[in-house]
Chains A and B, each alone.
Chain A
């Protein structure tokens, strides 16, 4: 089946620094990638949608200047959390949609971010 990877799997950073999370589709071309955030014991919350070569579309309430998304190729999207604060600590999950199978999304394993 389709595989999506994320790097790093976990990261600890100091408050005020920026952190970049990578999401890669390993065996298919992802025309669209999605980024989610999940707090402990809560469901996944969609943050933004990114299409290859164009600007990301952010969900209401998500700060686009804080969560920078780049989707420069059909296999890679990155999420940069800028000036991270402890409240940004969360589980960040990406998913990718195969352009040939419109209704399927394949999820990455997630990245645990802890801001101290």
Chain B
């Protein structure tokens, strides 16, 4: 079962930063946090992942709380192409992914 909780939806203006929160209060020391996003009728697309330290890549940044019970996905400048459902996944048990309900991000022009 999914162990993460996210807001059902969020809205952002184009070219503004977006902070997508995720709670994973049951995380253990070896669990990774993964973020994927999904467009309608497509498979999920990898965004970023981390363990303890904050992570940056060309798509986004991931800020992990010091107690690791929450994290925030940061899109620095939202574009219309970033509109999608974003899933935060806590991996455990041989790296199976149990998806939660995700956050539907709407980007306004």
A residues at B contact (CB < 8 Å):
1, 4, 6, 32, 34, 36, 43-46, 49, 91, 93, 95, 97, 102-110, 112
Contact = CB atoms under 8 A, between A and B. Distances in A.
Interface in B12-60: 32, 34, 36, 38, 41-46, 49
Given A6-B43, A43-B87, 4 more contacts: A34-B96, A36-B99, A46-B97, A103-B95
A74 to B, nearest CB: 17
B49 A110 contact: no
A57 to B, nearest CB: 9
A45 B2 CA distance: 10
Contacts of B2: 43
B46 A104 contact: yes
B48 to A, nearest CB: 11
B44 A107 contact: yes
Nearest to A106: B46
